[in-house]
Structure 1
């Protein structure tokens, strides 16, 4: 809402929806199929994206790439129907932990949801400790951290979910809760736009003992007031990413560029993109992150099924592998596996 005009409703940027028939128009064999990968960022849902549960994830994981394990990231899935409001997000962790156990019992080669990142309303301050305790217990050894959605802008809204308050990461109450993460040994995932990177840097600087992951390369927005301004946005994004890279407790996830809010129009085409096309579009952001953070602080992510609105799982990882084709084997080990293993203590 615009404070100068309370009746103003920002335009909604629709997300790229998953269309299996559209995706099926283009298939690729996996490049570098022996490269070990941890996918540190995917979601599950009963209904979103047409439903995306264990069988759907396993079908994508079977696309030819060597996915050793995955990390589930909160998405507001399977919350409890009753009980205290603050504890309802624990239902998500309970459901995901059950899915992980069932997959392990079935003997799948990939360790599904080896790590779980859930939600807790950090604005509860000291009271959030009850929620963190419950989340860790529900995770049964898999719970690793908290993600709080802060992606908000006064001039547009992405998707149909209600946007969080502007400047969430600067709020004293939020920081009071954030301060509890270190004592519980938990990390923090940030989902925020490039316009909020300075606020995220301020937060990470204030709590150097808490590991922070920047999701989706810091989300350089390409819609709304940023449509048609890719070069200017890139320059602003790069400057802020370079400043935040000075903080040793911060890592960055390389992915999420298939979201419609980033502004690449591949999902609007009659046919899906090839990995070569995606690599050409995404390489400037990914290579810049690798250069300024170094491979030991970068990890590739699928962001599925969100990015499945733009490409298939096989094509996504092929695009990443094309971008890193000239890097050393040691660098690739960090980018595709070891950074995620270290960050999420897998």
Structure 2
């Protein structure tokens, strides 16, 4: 089966400034110690990790590059694509609530390979601490003014946020119906208790009610545990049930998810979990949907 990896990263920290990989002390990270990521990760490394899988394209997602130079990462990726043939397309960096958002989005939209933007809105630490219209959140009027500039520049939006912000995300999707909103990492279901999963499922269902919302199944590692089908099958199946096979994309999140499993383990796990789906449905989730949503030439 051919695969388009809908979410992966490259970086050269010897040549470029990525604060979270270069600065000390390290930031708080959902998988815990991430020191193993503090090395260059380039297409040859990725191809080695992908091993036997026939990855025919990929979507590069911004890597928290130097925020003082958001277009610098796009120039670097343009050169990487010319030399290496990967990635196929890019989701670039822009701070939607910054004064330079209009200029930065125009620069990204003017390329032939940037398909969208990721800017992580400021999250609350728990569901009970969510504040409507908080600065830096999806309800922040300044942030939303930047979001309104995505569609005019031909850009979609990749959203990485805890599931308790998905009601805000639904409002965003409804208010900007001409912008595709793509939820990253399955909505971050870190709490696998029954109560945690119930909250996650309800939030996912709210977002899925917007026809312009999509989901990437990835980022399912649990801190301190190896990645297993037993741990993740329920989450994967419920996400597919909620969004439907035409709005789901599988992704490796490599090299980040290499902290919890090999590429082989994760993709083989997704393969096993979806074994009961039709060939057409599996092709959609592993390849065709990413082609359509991120406009990748097949």
SS at the partner of 1:316?
Answer: helix
Distance 1:316 1:327 in 2: 18
Aligned residue number for residue 9 of structure 2: 43
Moved over 6 A (4+): none
Question: Structure 1 residue aligned with 2:75, among 94, 106, 113?
Answer: 94
* 1:198, distance to aligned residue in structure 2 (A): 1.3
* 1:167, distance to aligned residue in structure 2 (A): 5.8
* 1:166, distance to aligned residue in structure 2 (A): 6.6
Distance 1:136 1:60 in 2: 31
Aligned residue number for residue 302 of structure 1: 252
Compared CA separation, residues 166 and 220, structure 1 to 2 (3 A): farther
* 1:141, distance to aligned residue in structure 2 (A): 1.3
Aligned residue number for residue 158 of structure 1: none
Matches of residues 121-270 of structure 1 in structure 2 within 5 Å? 121-124=95-98, 127-137=100-110, 140-150=111-121, 152-154=123-125, 168-222=137-191, 230-258=193-221, 260=223, 265-267=224-226
Q: Does 1:322 align with 2:252?
A: no
Q: What TM-score do you get using the length of structure 1 for normalisation?
A: 0.73
SS at the partner of 1:121?
Answer: coil
Q: Does 1:76 align with 2:64?
A: yes
SS at the partner of 1:113?
Answer: coil
* 1:170, distance to aligned residue in structure 2 (A): 0.8
Conservation of the 8 A alpha-carbon contact between 2:94 and 2:117: yes
* 1:152, distance to aligned residue in structure 2 (A): 2.8
Aligned residue number for residue 231 of structure 2: 281
Q: What TM-score do you get using the length of structure 2 for normalisation?
A: 0.84
Distance 2:222 2:77 in 1: 24
Distance 1:307 1:122 in 2: 27
SS at the partner of 2:249?
Answer: strand
Conservation of the 8 A alpha-carbon contact between 1:191 and 1:216: yes
SS at the partner of 1:122?
Answer: coil
Distance 1:258 1:230 in 2: 15
Give per-residue Cα distances to partners, 1:104-148, cap 9 Å, x unaligned: 3xxxxxxx11110011111136x52211122234xx411100001
Larger Rg: 1
Instruction: Give the gaps of 5 or more residues in structure 2.
Output: 14-20, 22-36, 127-133
Compared CA separation, residues 325 and 303, structure 1 to 2 (3 A): same
Give per-residue Cα distances to partners, 1:251-289, cap 9 Å, x unaligned: 0001100253xxxx325xxxxx5xxxx112111111111
Distance 1:239 1:133 in 2: 36
Size of the aligned set, in residue pairs, is: 266
Compared CA separation, residues 259 and 131, structure 1 to 2 (3 A): farther
Alpha carbon RMSD of aligned pairs, Å? Answer: 1.8
Distance 1:175 1:203 in 2: 8
